[in-house]
Amino acid sequence: MEHKWLKLLRIHTFSLTGPAVIIGYILQGNVDLYYAIAILIYALLFHAFGFLWNNIFDLKYDKLDPAKKHFPLVSGEIKLSQARTVAIGGTALTFVYGLFLFSNNIFSFIFFISAIVFGFAYNITNKIFEHAHIFIALSFSSLVISPFLEFHSFNLVILTYFIFSFFTMMFQNQISGNIKDLGVPQKNLLKTLGCRLIDNDMYNTNAVLFYAFGLRFAVLFSGIALITFLYKDVPLVITLIAFEIMQVIVFKYTIDLLRPGNFDRDKRVQIMSFVEITNYYSLVVIVTIYAGLYVDLFLYLFPIVYFIIMNRITWGTVLGPKV
C-alpha cells in the first residue's frame, strides 16, 4: 500500500539526513543514547516538514513537470489547504521541540534558528533565484552541527564538518538537482552556465564541469582536513586511504552524472543517488575508528534498512528512488 502523506513528506529520503545529524553529535566525544534518539527524532521532523513546505512552495512549478505528476499535491491526492495546515502545525511542533534540545548553549541555539531560517529562505526562493541552493546548504550544515555545539565549543573539527556538509549539499542541489530538472522551463544555475537539452541529449560546457568538479574537490579536501583533525599516526593513514578510495568512486559516478548524451531522467536520478550514497559512506569511513562499534553499526546499516523499508511502505518499491 502506498501512503500519500509519507510521499508528501518524502520520508524515505531521511535515510541519510538522520545519520548526518548523529555524526555531528558524536564528534563532540560523549554519546548519550537518549539524547541521540531525541536529536534523531528532531532531524526527522525538520526533514519531513521542510520537504512539506518545499512541495507547497513549488506546487505551481511541479504541475508543469511531467516527471512530478506522482507528487500528492500535483495529483490532487492531498489538498493544498490540508498540506498548509499540517505544515504550520508541524513546523510549530518542530520549533518547540528544538527549543528543548538546543537552548543550553548560545551557539547551538543560533545554528538551530539558522537551520530553520535558511530552510524557509530556500523554499521561498528556490524557483526564482538560481543561487537559492546556498540557503539549503547553509540550512543543512547548521542542522548537523547544532547537537555538537550544545555540548562543546566551536572548534576546527566541527567547522570542517560544517564545510564538508555545505559543499556536499551544494553539489547535491546545484548539480544533481539541477540536472534532474533540466526538462522543465524554469531557469537554474546549470542552464545559466550553458548546460542544455537538445533533442533529449544533454550538452555541458567547461563552466559546468569546472563548477561541478570544483564542488567535488571542495568536499574531498574538507574531508581530508576533517581526518587530520581527528586522527594521528596509523589511524590517520588508514582513514585517509579508505576515504580517498570512496571518493574515487564518488568522482566516477560524478563523471557518469555529467556525461553528455542521451538524457534519461530516471537513469540520471539513479546515478545521482549513487553519488549521494557513496559520498555519505565516505563520511562514515572518516568517523569509523572514532565512533566505536555500536555507532558504526548504526551509521552503516540504518540508511540501507530504513530506505528499503520506507521506500517499500511509501512507494511500493524496494530500491527505486522517487524524487
Q: Could you tell me if 126 and 221 lie in one domain?
A: no
Burial class (CB within 10 angstroms; exposed 0-12, middle 13-18, buried 19+) of 87: buried
Same domain, 107 and 23: yes
Give the whole-angstrom CA distance, residue 192 versus residue 129: 12
Residue among 5, 36, 53 at smallest CA distance from 294: 36
pLDDT > 60? residue 121? yes
Q: What is the extent of the structural domain holding 197?
A: 155-291
| 8-state DSSP, 292 | -
- What count of other Cβ atoms lies within 10 Å of the Cβ of residue 60? 9
pLDDT of 13 over the 90 cut: no
Do 135 and 6 share a domain, yes or no? yes
Return the bridge partners of 262, or none: 201
The string of pLDDT tens digits covering residues 188-227 is: 889 899 999 998 899 999 999 999 999 999 999 999 999 9
Residues 243 and 300 in one domain: no
- Are 280 and 299 in the same domain? no
**pLDDT value of residue 319:** 61
| DSSP code of residue 199 | T
149 and 169 belong to one structural domain: no
pLDDT, tens only, 137-188: 999 999 999 999 999 999 999 999 999 999 999 999 999 989 988 878 778 8
Judge if 1 and 144 occupy the same domain: yes
Q: Which of 127, 101, 128, 129 is nearest to 115 (CA)?
A: 101
Residues 134 and 215 in one domain: no
Q: Say how many C-beta atoms besides its own lie within 10 A of residue 254's C-beta.
A: 25
Rounded to whole angstroms, the Cα distance separating 40 from 17 reads 9
285 and 307 assigned to the same domain: no
Whether pLDDT at 84 is above 90: yes
CB 290 within 8 A of CB 231: yes
| Same domain, yes or no: 221 and 74 | no
pLDDT digits (tens, 9 = 90+) for 260-314: 999 998 899 899 999 999 999 999 999 999 998 999 999 999 999 998 898 888 8
Residue 38 has pLDDT above 60, yes or no: yes
| Residue 107, domain CATH | 1.10.357.140
- Is the domain of 310 the same as that of 285? no
pLDDT band at 1 (very low <50, low <70, confident <90, very high): very low
Domains: count for the chain: 2
| Model confidence at 238: pLDDT above 90 | yes
Please name the residue ranges forming H helices in 2-69.
4-8, 14-26, 33-57, 59-62
Average pLDDT score over the chain: 92
In terms of domains, do 173 and 88 share one? no
